[in-house]
Chain A
Amino acid sequence: MRANSGTKSKKSARNGHARYVELRLYVAGQSPKSLAALANLKKFCAEHLDGQYKLQVIDLVKTPQLAQNDQILAIPTLVRKLPVPIRKIIGDLSDSARVLVGLDLRDKEGAQ
């Protein structure tokens, strides 16, 4: 079962080369780390991704079979599905600077 937090798709007005990002967050039920990660991610997306993203939250307690595909071991894990190549950030995403590095989106930020 997938918990879609919905897509906030808004055309970037500032520059045309804004990249579209597809993210998947793996959590395990309502564990504190999972909840913290989700909250931190939402905050991060709002601050840095400017609506150019799609976020999917997967609860492995409910759908354990999905863990294999993305090779999930650590919880929580954030996977950048797009743009390729795949990147993974593990942890509660409390350090937004490192999330930025992990998602490899700084170039875009720097260009802005």
Chain B
Amino acid sequence: MARLEKSLTGIAGFDEVTNGGLPKGRPTIVCGGPGCGKSMFALEFLVRGATEFGEPGVLLTFEETGEEMTKNVASLGFDLKGLASRGKLAVDYVRIEPSEIEETGEYDLEGLFIRLQHAVESVGAKRVVLDTIEAIFSGFSNTGMLRGEIRRLFRWLKDRGLTTVVTAEKGEGSLTRYGLEEYVSDCVIFLDHRVTDQISTRRLRVVKYRGSSHNADEIPFLIDDRGFSVLPSSAMKLDHIVSSERVSTGVADLDVMLEGKGFFRGSSILVSGTAGSGKSTLAALFAEQTCRRGQRCLYVAFEESASQAMRNMRSVGIDLERHAKRGLLRFEAWRPTQSGLEMHLLRIHKMVLEHKPQAVVLDPITNLLMGSQQELHSMLMRLIDFLKREKITAFFTSLTNGRNKEFEQTDAGISSLIDTWIFLRDVELNGERNRCVYVLKSRGMAHSNQVREFVMSKAGVRLLPVYVGSGTVLTGAARLAQEASEKAENRIRQQTTEEQRRLLEGKRKALDAQIEALRSEFAQEEARVTLVSRHEEDRERELERDTLKMGNFRKGARQAKISSRNGKVGLENEG
């Protein structure tokens, strides 16, 4: 089967939602309550067709005169008169005045067909808008005939291959008041305009799209000074290609905690913390770092005006103004209560498309939490999906109330969307509040598990190791005191060691002395022993001599014999 041909509407986001626009050459019903924007949708479809896709169009309006219509859309920059004079658009205002009309006998709406055909032929139209065809029900009483004619009209449009948008009023318990959806089986789009807590939100839903898969979700849209824009739906598949490129956090010490390299490019980062814990400072540092690399950054602040934020950031040595002037930083600030969640999302979306940043900062997202947590979750999911596809690093801050342990739970809802979650918390101790920072999680990297103290000064931001011991984490003055006392202890320990060394030295000296003494004693002994033994020898020799002398006296005859054997003795005898 041939693929269903589609016709691009040119309406921002809508063509993405429907994978290519409206069914080509077929009628589509756009329905909704009063003021839902259905006429605007239809008109933009026509104008974009004429200006962007070279498809001339016909506008058959039943409710507003051509004049009124021209004025209404001039504010959106649509020049209906100009288009009409260039032959790209034919406008026919169909006025039905029931009070003027009397019915007698049979009739049909051939006049409408003739007018439509005339208009289509006059510009060679490819697109047609009927706004709002239901008006004919108020002008004529023969509804049976009207229904037949409407059926014929849709057939007629289809036969001529005219891509048509038919607007219709919402009915009670049905999509359209007169059940037009019964005749148009190809595509039905429902627009909704809701006001919750004084904040309006517009939503669009593709109720039916024959022959095409479509997202049946309610999708937010907005109408602003540039027309209609539909927020592209969140990606159904998680198939964005990730980057392994790293970007610095803007704080060297924090980079160290993230493998020394920082965040992944295109990842989503959440910094949560209690009031005044330094979330905005971290955000500003990140923004500044991005701009320093020559990359663009979009900073959306919901709490402070641009000038206030820039002044405040100067106090910690962050100069955002410089980057704003260079055009790298786009700083936007608005009140979150200014519009509904979807509007915020769309505004951010549009700004991203305009500014083309590499990083987006939202400070803080918790201020957007006006409706339910679920809504915020779905908004962030859409935003993150979008930013990830564009490889834009998303940096969010989130305010936690920090009363108890549960404060980490408040963000748990969005945790799954976040790649790197940094936690800032106050530590109150000894009459001081100090800031601590730790990395709660960081997908795809071996991040530090340490708690560091977050110290801000004019010179910037430093993360210092905290003192951890005896079940407490010491920061600030307490840490300093602890460090001082440690130093003192060290000194004492050092002194003790030295003392001992000295003692030992003394002992060794004593030992040496002892050894020396023993040695000398031994030497004396040795000397004495040697002396004694020599004396002994002498005495023996003397004894021998004496014996000899005595022998000589007794045996004089053998004297000569002994003398010839021992000359010495002989000499001694002579002496």
Please say whether chains A and B are actual partners in one complex.
Answer: yes
In the assembled complex, the CB of B339 is this many whole angstroms from the nearest CB of chain A, namely 41
A26-52: CB near B (< 8 Å → 1, else 0) gives: 101001010011001000000000000
Contact B101 A26 (CB under 8 A): no
B413 at the interface (CB under 8 A from A): no
B106 at the interface (CB under 8 A from A): yes
Contact B109 A87 (CB under 8 A): no
Give A79's nearest chain B residue, CB to CB.
B100
Considering only residues 58-74 of chain B, those with a C-beta below 8 Å from chain A are: none
Among B94, B102, B103, B108, contact of A71 (Cβ-Cβ < 8 Å)? B94
A26 cross-chain contacts in B, Cβ below 8 A: 111
Among A28, A75, A89, contact of B102 (Cβ-Cβ < 8 Å)? A89
A3 cross-chain contacts in B, Cβ below 8 A: none
B215 at the interface (CB under 8 A from A): no
Evaluate whether A75 and B105 lie within 8 angstroms (CB atoms) in the complex, with A61-B114, A64-B118, A68-B92 already known.
Answer: no
A53-94: CB near B (< 8 Å → 1, else 0) gives: 000000011001101100111111100000001111111111
- A44 CA / B140 CA spacing, docked (Å): 23
Contact B104 A60 (CB under 8 A): no
- A91 CA / B136 CA spacing, docked (Å): 15
A71 cross-chain contacts in B, Cβ below 8 A: 94-97
A101 at the interface (CB under 8 A from B): yes
Evaluate whether A75 and B111 lie within 8 angstroms (CB atoms) in the complex, with A33-B106, A92-B105, A94-B105 already known.
Answer: yes
Among A28, A76, A98, A102, contact of B114 (Cβ-Cβ < 8 Å)? A28
A107 at the interface (CB under 8 A from B): no
- A85 CA / B96 CA spacing, docked (Å): 15
Contact A75 B104 (CB under 8 A): no
B553 at the interface (CB under 8 A from A): no
A28 cross-chain contacts in B, Cβ below 8 A: 110-111, 114
Question: How many B residues face the partner with a CB closer than 8 A?
Answer: 25
In the assembled complex, the CB of B92 is this many whole angstroms from the nearest CB of chain A, namely 6
Contact residue range for chain A?
Answer: 35 or more
A23 at the interface (CB under 8 A from B): no
B136 cross-chain contacts in A, Cβ below 8 A: 73
A68 cross-chain contacts in B, Cβ below 8 A: 92, 115
Evaluate whether A76 and B107 lie within 8 angstroms (CB atoms) in the complex, with A67-B115, A71-B95 already known.
Answer: yes
Evaluate whether A74 and B140 lie within 8 angstroms (CB atoms) in the complex, with A26-B111, A31-B110 already known.
Answer: yes
Number of A-B contacts (CB under 8 A): 98
Give A72's nearest chain B residue, CB to CB.
B111
A95 cross-chain contacts in B, Cβ below 8 A: 104-105
Query: Which of A28, A33, A73, A94: most chain B Cβ within 10 A?
Result: A73
A92 cross-chain contacts in B, Cβ below 8 A: 104-107
B112 at the interface (CB under 8 A from A): yes
B104 cross-chain contacts in A, Cβ below 8 A: 89-95, 98-99, 102
B211 at the interface (CB under 8 A from A): no
In the assembled complex, the CB of A64 is this many whole angstroms from the nearest CB of chain B, namely 4
Contact B102 A73 (CB under 8 A): no
Contact B111 A67 (CB under 8 A): yes
- A73 CA / B102 CA spacing, docked (Å): 13
Contact A87 B100 (CB under 8 A): yes
Among A36, A61, A91, contact of B103 (Cβ-Cβ < 8 Å)? A91
In the assembled complex, the CB of A39 is this many whole angstroms from the nearest CB of chain B, namely 12
B43-61: CB near A (< 8 Å → 1, else 0) gives: 0000000000000000000
- A75 CA / B92 CA spacing, docked (Å): 18
Contact B94 A60 (CB under 8 A): no
B105 cross-chain contacts in A, Cβ below 8 A: 33, 36-37, 40, 91-95
Query: A67-B111, A88-B101, A91-B105 are known contacts; what are 5 more A-B pairs with Cβ within 8 Å?
Result: A60-B111, A73-B139, A75-B110, A86-B100, A90-B104
Please name the 3 residue pairs, one residue from A and one from B, whose CB atoms are nearest each other, closest first. Answer: A102-B102, A91-B105, A92-B105
Q: Which B residues are within 8 Å of any A CB, using their own CB?
A: 92, 94-97, 100-112, 114-115, 117-118, 136, 139-140
